[in-house]
Amino acid sequence: MIQRWHKKKTHLPFIAIVFFLFVLCTIFYNERRFQEIHRKENRKTGDQNDVNTTFSIKSTPSSSGILDRFSTCNSTVKYKGQKAESLVQTDEQEEMDDYCNVFSGRWVFDNISFPLYNESDCPYMSDQLACRKHGRPDLMYQNWRWQPHGCNLKRWNATEMWDKLRGKRLMFVGDSLNRGQWISMLCLLESVIPAEKKSITPNAPLTIFRAEEYNATVEFQWAPLIVESNSDDPVNHRLDERIIRPDSVLRHASEWEHVDILVFNSYLWWRQGPVKLLWSNEKNGVCEEAESLDAMELAMDEWANWIESNVNPLKKKVFFVTMSPTHLWSREWEPGTEGNCYNEKTPIKDENYWGSGSDLATMGMVANIVNKLKSKVRVLNITQMSEYRKDGHPSIYRKFWESRSAEQLANPTSYSDCIHWCLPGVPDVWNQLLFHFL
């Protein structure tokens, strides 16, 4: 098998397809697993009321007009380039006083201040991200502090963060990477709250952590494509044919309205090939098929329109987290090698490093949209800093729910997860940045 791996480029498309399937599977299995964890948590806290609503899987017939995993297109035509009317005004807001770009910097080994919590102490840890528990022998990945050039980040302080969250709702909205950041936030915050004063409600599309004494919640909403889609069920996604309603964020936005701090992300789910568009005024079930970038831009425009019409920056803070990099090809940081993130133990030192997984056209499109919303949206530009962290992924040190063949086991790179991030780890620093800007 090792030889086969070394046979070079001819196998790349095949490997890419296998990897694509693997990614979808891991995402899928993780959702299911996560529900189980929460179900357990729920039992523990004796909070049985939500169980029925939580785990009944909706199977609304498509006739209701709502997309679900059973939705299909009657036929598909090429995307004709229709765009929603933009409500976004050109933003006159002055550049914020960015005397220092905190996203530009380097990772410094610091085993005194980091990690910010212990993996095994966090009751909300996911088996997908608990790398030490799953046998990772090297633990240095937990000990890196982000040091911006020319200034310091605010030190993480859980009590101070709770003071900022008092009486408020903080909601993360997005995909499994955003959920990783949400779990990181729970782990960063939970230790200062006594067990009987905190609870978690596993309500499938929206999971809510409550801290009684602060009257505050930290929530996660599954919305991998931002707009309404047939992948909106966090447990049973539709994987093969992704259909979105490019002109409707309503299904998700009904929850955003009363939230004080919103943290969005979206990227990975757009990168799996063309997307079908089912416009709301389409009566015959005819979909248009659009390229990833066009489809994501439509969704982002719709999101921007919602922000423009609904966000008063004095009352609501909105963050957008840029794409989380992957480390699928070690030849990108070490030419001549044929591996991936497996067995990587230290960050990349080259400050100009940028991997091929982080699509520049997508970044440009996102920058263009959020720049017009500067007074209402703050970008957490985590891409460059996370690019350096080839050592931060679970690789083989996480729970896998599907069994692996002897051939795979003999070749760990073949099933390594180089997409998500170990905790404690990189997402803790994304949250430190969030804390810095609140």
Residue 22 or residue 146: which is nearer to ligand NAG going by CB? Answer: 146
Among 10, 284, 309, 352, binds ligand NAG (CB under 6 A): 284
Q: Which member of 4, 60, 61, 74 binds ligand NAG (CB under 6 A)?
A: 74
Residue from 145, 169, 237, 420 in contact with ligand NAG (CB under 6 A): 169
Residue 81: CB atoms within 10 A of its CB come to 8
Question: Residue 17 interacts with ligand NAG (CB under 6 A)?
Answer: no
Under the binding rule (CB under 6 A), the answer on residue 111 touching ligand NAG is: yes
d(CA 120, CA 113): 17
184 or 383: whose CB is closer to ligand NAG? 383
Grouping H, G, I as helix, E, B as strand and the rest as coil, residue 76 is strand
H helix or E strand, kind and range, residue 114? none
- The nearest distance, CB 13 to ligand NAG, in angstroms, is 29
Q: Could you say which of 147, 272, 310, 384 contacts ligand NAG (CB under 6 A)? A: 384
The answer to whether 438 and 156 are in contact (CB under 8 A) is no
Nearer to ligand NAG, 23 or 211 (CB): 211
Choose between 10 and 75: whose C-beta lies nearer to ligand NAG: 75
Q: Cβ neighbours of residue 343 under 8 Å, at least 6 residues apart?
A: 395, 412
CA dist 295 and 291 (Å) reads 6
Q: What is the DSSP string of 274-290?
A: -EEE--TT--S-EEEEE
Which regions of 149-294 does DSSP assign to beta strands (E)?
Answer: 169-174, 198-203, 206-211, 216-222, 243-244, 261-265, 275-277, 286-290
When binding is defined by CB under 6 A, the residue of 381, 395, 414, 431 that contacts ligand NAG is 381
Active site residue 176: yes
* Token pair in block for residue 171: 């909601």
CB of 406 to ligand NAG, least distance (A): 37
Residue 123 tokens read as 């009751």
86, 89, 118, 280: residue in contact with ligand NAG (rule CB under 6 A): 118
Give the shortest CB-437-to-ligand NAG separation in angstroms: 14
Cα distances (angstroms) measured from residue 329 to each of 14, 22, 339: 14, 16, 6
Contact 217, 209 (CB under 8 A): yes
- How many residues touch ligand NAG under the rule CB under 6 A: the total is 26
Q: CA 25 to CA 31: how far, in whole Å?
A: 10
Residue among 85 and 97 whose Cβ is closer to ligand NAG: 97
Q: Which residue is nearest to ligand NAG (CB)?
A: 285
**Interaxial angle between packed helices 158-165 and 176-190, expressed in degrees from 0 to 180 and rounded to the nearest 10:** 110
Catalytic member of 38, 71, 126, 176: 176
Q: Is 117 in the site for ligand NAG (CB under 6 A)?
A: yes
Cβ distance 234 to 222 under 8 Å?
yes
Q: Say whether 393 is catalytic.
A: no
The CB-of-368 to ligand NAG minimum distance in angstroms stands at: 8
**3 touches ligand NAG (CB under 6 A):** no
Is residue 66 a contact residue for ligand NAG (CB under 6 A)? no
Asked about 134 being catalytic, the answer comes back as no
Q: Which residue numbers are catalytic?
A: 176, 417, 420
Sites of contact with ligand NAG (CB under 6 A): 49, 52, 62, 74, 111, 117-118, 157, 159-160, 163, 167-169, 215, 284-285, 322, 363, 366-367, 370, 379, 381, 383-384
